[in-house]
Amino acid sequence: MSAPEITVVVPLYRTAETVPELHARLAAALAGRTFELVLVDDACPAGSGAAAAARAATDERVRLLSLPRNRGQHAAVLAGLAEARGAWVVAIDGDLQDPPEAVPVLLDTARDLNVPVVFAGRRGRYQSRMRLLTSRAYKHTLAALTGVPSDAGLFVALERPVVEELLRMDGPRRPSVVAMIGCTGAPTRSIPVERAPRASGESSYGAWGRLTLGWRAVVWVIAWRLGRRRGGRTQWAR
């Protein structure tokens, strides 16, 4: 298949039940556009890879990338970005809390506003009060450090040059794709998107995992700002 207009990258972990509906809803939402769907099995022991393989066997637009070991959501997204061929790339969770119908809305907004990055600013009662408070604190800290919108999350549309810049940010322990996007200096926007409660299962991130990810992201950004990296300035750096 020739290079598509759009690539949708989906990290999968304990999402076997949602893969068929995710595939169907994305196909309907992107009808009339050329797209590919890169499903990244993050070494899930609960059947996500098998569910993704079944989709790939029946739809040539679907590609399965199986990671040999569990690397976490953000690393799985980066692995998917490395496989993406679209002029625009959208990252979205595989648990259907983020609505697939919002994917074309993000893309159309990016083009209408002529910006290379548009985040879905998550809205709705989809998490506990404590998780909401800790999430807001982390996101506001990240916004202050990088300039990304304070409601930015890992449901985002990226133009190809931003994807390529992210992939050039080599090195271990790249904990947050959102933080990395902020460090590119690329102009960003966000639009409000209602997020659904989790249909089944639990988040892969417990309280300690979320705290660790947030701390690592902040430290990584500070190190980046201090110039502890290889290569030159990004094309958007001021």
- Give domain status of residue 179, yes or no: yes
What residues have CB less than 8 Å from 112, skipping those under 6 apart?
none
Q: How many whole angstroms separate alpha carbon 61 and alpha carbon 132?
A: 36
Residue 11's pLDDT is 97
Residue 236 lies in a domain: no
CATH number at residue 201: 3.90.550.10
The conformation of residue 160, written as its DSSP 8-state character, comes to H
Name the least confident of 72-86, 123-137, 143-157, 216-230: 123-137
Task: pLDDT band for 237, please (50, 70, 90 cuts).
Answer: low
Q: Residue 7: helix, strand or coil by DSSP?
A: strand
Tens-digit pLDDT profile for residues 146-204:
899 999 999 999 999 999 999 998 665 667 899 999 999 999 999 999 988 766 555 55
Residue 233 lies in a domain: no
| Pairing between β-strand 6-12 and β-strand 35-41 as defined by DSSP bridges | parallel
pLDDT-derived band at 238 (thresholds 50, 70, 90) equals very low
Q: What is the pTM of this model?
A: 0.88
pLDDT tens column, 107-134: 999 999 999 999 999 776 655 565 666 6
> How does the average pLDDT of the chain come out, rounded?
87
Q: Is the per-residue pLDDT at 138 higher than 80?
A: no
Instruction: Answer whether residue 231 is part of any domain.
Output: no
Structural domain tally of the chain?
Answer: 1
Residue 230, domain member (yes or no): no
Give pLDDT, residue 139.
Answer: 78
Q: Is residue 90 part of a domain?
A: yes
Q: Is residue 128 part of a domain?
A: yes
Task: Please check the confidence at residue 145 and state whether its pLDDT lies above 60.
Answer: yes
Question: 55 is in which domain, residue-wise?
Answer: 6-225
The pLDDT score that the predictor gives to residue 187 is: 97
Residue 153 exposure: Cα atoms within 13 Å on the Cβ side: 19
* 61 domain-assigned: yes
What's the whole-number mean pLDDT along residues 72-95? Answer: 96
Cα dihedral value 21, 24, 26, 30, nearest 10: -160
